[in-house]
Each structure stands twice: as C-alpha cells, then as structure tokens.
Chains A and B, each alone.
Chain A
C-alpha cells in the first residue's frame, strides 16, 4: 500500500504536471494557431451577455407542407381534367382531403396523384399515404417519418439562418446551437440588451412579389374576391392592400441585398439582385404588367406597392418604403441571410449586463479566496503535517479541475464558482477520513508504517462509497438541469473525480516519501 514503483511515481507526478500545462491556455494567448489551445469559458452570468432560447413553430412547418400539397394535388387533377368539389387541409391529422365531383373517376384521380408520392426519405419509405372511399373521397396523409425528416430539416435550416443573421450583426463569439428537437439556443456574450437581435431573429423574413388587384376595394368590409387577400401595410396596419395569392417572384431567388440611399430623393432604400431564375421571372412579370402595382410583401405585410413604370430586365431592383438607416440595413441583412422555414419565438431570455457580471466575479473570487484559506487553515491546525499534505493535494486538485474543465472547454458560471468552493470543502474529507483512520490504528498500537498501511486501506472503501453517491446525484443534476446550474454540476463532478485521484494517489505518495525520508517512530497525527 505504501510502496510506489518508480514508474508509478513518475505517472502520478506526470499527471499533475500535465494538469499544470493544460491550465496554461487560460492564462495566456495561443502563441501559434496550430497549438490545441483549449480553455475554460466564462458563462454569460459572469461576463455579461444574453441567452435566448427559441422555439421553432413545427406546426407551421406541417401547415406549409400541407398547403404545398394542396397546390400539387390541384395541379395534378386539373391537368387530367378531373374536377373536385372540395379540397382542404386538416393540419391536426396531417392530411389533405379531396372530394371528387364524379366518383367514377376515382381510379384516374388516384393514378394522377400517384407521382406525388416520393420515397426519397432517409429510410426509403413513402412520405405520403393515399387512401380512398368509393364515394370519391381521397385522403393524402403525411407519414410520421416524412414529418420527422421535415422537422429535422427545418430545425437545421433555422439554425443555419439564425447563425447567419447573428454573425451579420457582428457579435463576437456568439453561439447558436440546437436544443432538444425543436429549440435553438443563442448565446450572445457582451450583449446586455438584445432587443435588436431579438427583433432580427424573430422575423421569418419571407419576401415575395405579388401583383395588386386594382379592381378590389380593400376598404370595404366585403370578403376579398377568390384568389385575392387583403394584406396590411407594414407602416400602417389599418391600410389594407388587395394582393393576389399567386407569388410571382420569391425572395428565395435573391442573391444579394444592400442598404443604400436613393440618388434622387436621398431616402434610404434596399437594393437587391436576383439569380438567373428570379431575374427571368421578374422580367416576365414586369414586362406584361406595366402600369399595374406590384406589391413587395414581407411576412404577410406589404412593405410597398409601387407601380411598374417599365419592364425591369437586369434582375436588379430597389425597395423603398420609409426606411431609416437602421431598418434598411436590417432588412438587407435579413434578405441576405434568407428566410426561416418556420416562425421562431423567444421562450426564455436571460440578459445580464456586464456590470453585474463583473460584480459577480469579484464577489465570487472573494468568497473563493476566504473559503480556501479557512479550509487550509482548518486542515493545518487540526491535522498538522498530514493536514498540510492534504492542503498540497487541495492545490493540485484545483489545478487538475481547471485542467479537465479546460480540456472539456467547459463553461464557468457563478454557481460553478460556488461548486469549486464546495468541492474544496469536500475534497479534504477524504484526507480527514484517512488521517482519522491512521490515527486510530496508531492508538490501537500499530507501528507507524502499519498504521499508515491500514489507515489508507480501510479509509479507501469509505471514501469511494461516500463519493460515489455524491457523484451520482450531480450527474443527475447535469442531465436534468439547465443553464448556469449545469456549470455547477460540471465543476462538482469533475472535482469529485480529481479529488479521488489526489486523495488516493497523491496523498499516499507524499506520505510514503516523507516516511522513507524521516522514518519517524511516532506519526504526528
């Protein structure tokens, strides 16, 4: 028990040295970019910043898919001159129901709809299930696999677009990550007031160009004619514009958008350009509709509805609509980053000003320092030499904790700092158990070496059992906790692991070296 081979000694000391090396990245900048420079990050509660938890509206994803499906069904049936009485989406059941006018053409209709089924999914299973009744009713149900695939794709795409938008705002070290299967976490260090970013992220930014129906009167209370919708103006929600449902050009075809100022009026505008497909369609629509109004619609609100004066052939255009410098550049940013596949809403927000973070660090550091001195003083005063060995191990334990947390690139939060301090208090427990046991063995009449041997051996099981339960409890906290509390769980679990090493290996090594060097007749316990 008290014998250490050279190899073992070297390994233990090597582990401690390695730990010290791994801590260096926290103190200095990387001298070369190829070096693995892993370090502990300060949590948002310490450095100030914003944490946003956003929910992707998966219901909207399904609804969109069903609306798309209705369009395809309509087209497939009409192309074969099959008439239907009704066609409607039932989002709750993930299906579209079609009622044919003539039930005898059911067979033809099914044949026409067959090509809509795609088996491109991950498992090669069909994404649609077709069922029919003899009365001429056809039901197209989206399969669970297809819905899941679509939800996963929507989430991935949302994350990508959120990341682009956040990056475009110039926040340093922002993090965007998936949480669960329909949520996105955005962390913005240094941003104490995320109002503008929240507004940017909350917009779907789906832009379309749709023609205005001049014959309809949006001011009247009558329902809009079929195929037309009354959409509010962005600046003035009371003013409605009658817009055809048909999307002539989609914002997805934009290649660039920049804020600028109009040369003649000096107003802020957004200049955009289309890819080839978009440019072609834009040219076609503007050529055949000169003199009519063309609405630019963003998220179901009309930004402006200018009159087409001449065909726009170059695939470039300009949006004007009472912009300020800020709103023009925000819109340009949104258009560049692309539209979200589904609306996002903030369901949790925590914004901490840098001032509060600095206060927390200061208070935490004072508590940490005082707590450390109290524990070290207690061990030295009550256990003498063995207590000081424990204190050496305590320092090494701190270093190792920091090293492992650096390797994991863990986040240090305020509760995490509390966790470090509590770990210090618990780490010496192992030494207390050992020291008390050694002392007891010596009182029972064992000579020093035997007392040490037995003390370490007997205490070991107690130490292991008592730490294992604490370890389990904090692993649970990590799994079920969230935010800063997770930081607490991380520091404590790491601390328990390292303290087992220092108490069991390092203390024993120190005591054995000391014993060999001095060969005392009585242990100072």
Chain B
C-alpha cells in the first residue's frame, strides 16, 4: 500500500496542456526588467556595494563575547584604544561581533593594529574570544577584484560562444543579454541588502549565471525543436507554445535548486547564508527571465530571420493561419512528422526551403 503510494507521482507543478500567452506580456516584462536593472546599476554606482575584505583589503576580526555583545561599549573601548575602526556589527548570533579595520601600510602595522584591538577588547570585555582574524593587503585585494571580474566576463563570453556554436546567434545574444540583466539585478540585490561583495558573492553570481543559462537552454532547445516541427507557425505562437511545453521543466528545475539553497540561507553559517540569499534571489530572477526576457528578445531578434518563410506564408491571411488546426500541436500527433508541408502546399505558398535548422 505504502509502496504504491510512494511510487505514484502526487502533484504536478503545472497542469498539462497550458496555453498561457506569455508573449503578450513581453513589453511589460522587458520594461520591468529594464527598470529594475537600471535601478540596480544606479545603486551599484551610488551608494555602491559594500566591498568585502577580499576586494577592499584591510582587517576583519570576528569576536565572540561572553553573553550578548554590548556594541556601544566595544566601540567606546576601541576609540579609547585609538583604533580607527570602520565598523562594529553583529555577525550571526547575538554574542558575535565583526570588527572592520582599514588597510594598513605594512605587515608590521597590521599586526600592531590587531594587537591594539585585542588589548582594547580584553580591557572592555574580559573573556572574549577572537574566532577569526583576516588581513588582506591592498595589492592582493586589487588582484582578487580583477580576477573576480575577469571570471565573470570570461564566463559570459564563453557562454555566448557556446550557445552561438550550438544554436544560432539570435539565441546566443538573447541568452547573454538576459544573463547580463539577471546579474545586474543580483548585484542590485547585494547593494540593497548591504551584504558584503566578496569572492563568495562572485561564486554566487557565477552559479546563478550557470543555472540561469540551464533554464534558457531548456526553453531555447524546445524552440529550436519546434522550429523544425511546425514550419509555418508564427514565431510568436511558437515561442509561447515552447514555453508552455517546458513550463513544468523550468519550474521543476528551479524548485529543486531553490529547495537545496533554502536551508543554506536559513541554517547556514553567516558567511554562507548571505551567499544563499543571493542565490535564492537569483533563482527567482533567472526563472522569470527565461520566460519574460530571454524569449521576447529571441522573438524581436528572430522575427524576420528565424521565420522568414513563415512570415511570407502567413502574411496574406494571418487570421486563417492561426486558426488552422494542423498548425497546433495536437495531443495525439504521432511523432515529429511536420504537418507543415501539407498545409503550405495547400495554400500554395512559396516553396522556399528553410535556411537552417
């Protein structure tokens, strides 16, 4: 009994045979996305992300105090010890404090500064424990920042080339433009939440990049397949159809990644939970952009290219074409045999061969 209960699927994310006309909302989607991304870029410039120690250089000390931390007292103690701190904040639990200090000119000065902080803390909060000390010099942090940006840019370029190679250029451009929009939003999210922008966040953004591409490839792959299958269907309808057909996939794959990242955000240690929140945000953005951004861009770019013959065939009688039963994917269609050839011949359309599959 229990076994047979287990072995049957119980829920569907999306009912079968949906016919949602996503492309109707294409302008809406692009406008909302453009506004969000523009806002993100403005936020990125001003006030800008809070750079983590990886990229800004400097010193970070994580301290555990006996009992809940008294931040005022710690700040006062540091000021009394002549420590030019750049931030004292709660880090995770109530008894954990993160202290930031600026870049010191030399390694000796760095050590001296750390000692000063320890001394000041020992006086103000006896029994404290320094859990972590990190110090990064200016030359290293500049290099890390450069490498982080390089990793992002090269990844984007490689994705562009890969999709270009496997699909056609309209797909590649559509995907990369969408990915750039996704990334800008993730960065905007980073600024709004005041999470530290460091190497771990670059990892999060790259993961979003990889994952979001997955999503786009699933939709694009179906578009490519349907382009071969329904030779005369207008591109707009064809894209709508492809999105509907792959909707349960798009949502399902997002769902599993979301479920995997959620406990990291909720239970993960502080440094990883920030990363996981950015991931969760990126998953939602990436999934919606596959539908509302990547597909419309493909429609705009490919309207006259991917579907040249269809446009010619459909132009005289658009209403009638759309109404044709053969052009719709009937649930009982056997195999990928294209019904298009017949209908096209019947209408006496120009028998122009499709440029490329």
Q: Is A173 an interface residue, CB under 8 A from the partner?
A: no
**Cβ 8 A contact of B218, one of A385, A462, A524:** A462
Residues of B contacting A: mostly: helix
Separation in Å of the B165 CB from the closest CB of chain A? 10
| Chain B residues whose CB sits within 8 angstroms of the CB of A489 once the complex forms | 203
B332 at the interface (CB under 8 A from A): yes
Kindly state the separation between the CA atoms of A425 and B62 in the bound complex, as whole angstroms. 31
Q: In the complex, are the beta carbons of B272 and A195 less than 8 A apart?
A: no
Question: Residue B151 at the A interface, CB < 8 A?
Answer: yes
Cβ-neighbour of B133 out of A349, A367, A379, A492 (below 8 A)? A349
Cβ B151 vs Cβ A352 within 8 A? no
Is there a chain A Cβ closer than 8 Å to B350's Cβ? no
B147 an interface residue at 8 Å Cβ cutoff? yes
Is A150's CB within 8 Å of the partner chain B? no
The contact string, 1 if C-beta is below 8 Å from chain B, for chain A 105-134, is: 000000000000000000000000000000
* B259 with A195: CB separation less than 8 A: no
Q: Which chain A residue shows the least CB distance to B158?
A: A472
Residues of A within 8 A of B133 (CB): 193, 349-351
Nearest residue in A to B5 (C-beta to C-beta)? Answer: A384
Q: Are B213 and A466 in contact (CB under 8 A)?
A: yes
**Which chain A residues lie closer than 8 Å to B163 at the CB level?**
469
- Give complex CA distance A245, B225 in Å: 82
- Contact string against B for A residues 299-322, beta-carbon threshold 8 Å, 1 for contact and 0 otherwise: 000000000000000000000000
> Does B256 belong to the interface (CB within 8 Å)?
yes
Main SS of chain A's interface residues?
helix
Q: Evaluate contact between B130 and A364: CB separation under 8 angstroms.
A: no
Interface string of B119-156 (1 = CB under 8 A from A): 00000000001111111110110001001101100110
In the complex, the chain A residue whose C-beta lies closest to that of B135 is A349
Pick the most buried of B111, B166, B218, B332: most chain A CB atoms within 10 A of its CB.
Answer: B218
CA distance A461 to B147 in the complex (A): 32
| Smallest beta-carbon distance A323→chain B, Å | 22
Residues of A within 8 A of B154 (CB): 476, 480
Residue of A nearest to B259 (CB): A374
Say whether A482 contacts B144, CB under 8 Å.
yes
Determine the chain B residues whose CB is within 8 A of the CB of A462 once the complex forms: 217-218, 221
Q: Which residues of A contact B64 (CB under 8 A)?
A: 355
Q: B250-265 vs A: 1/0 string, CB under 8 Å?
A: 0011011111111110
Q: Which residue of A lies closest to B60 (CB)?
A: A350
15 contacts between A and B (CB under 8 A): A349-B110, A351-B133, A353-B129, A374-B260, A375-B259, A378-B255, A382-B11, A385-B8, A429-B257, A445-B332, A461-B221, A465-B217, A476-B151, A476-B154, A485-B203
Given contacts A346-B135, A466-B215, 18 further A-B contacts (CB under 8 A): A195-B111, A345-B106, A349-B110, A364-B269, A367-B267, A415-B272, A422-B207, A424-B260, A425-B259, A425-B261, A432-B253, A436-B248, A436-B252, A469-B158, A473-B210, A473-B213, A474-B207, A489-B203
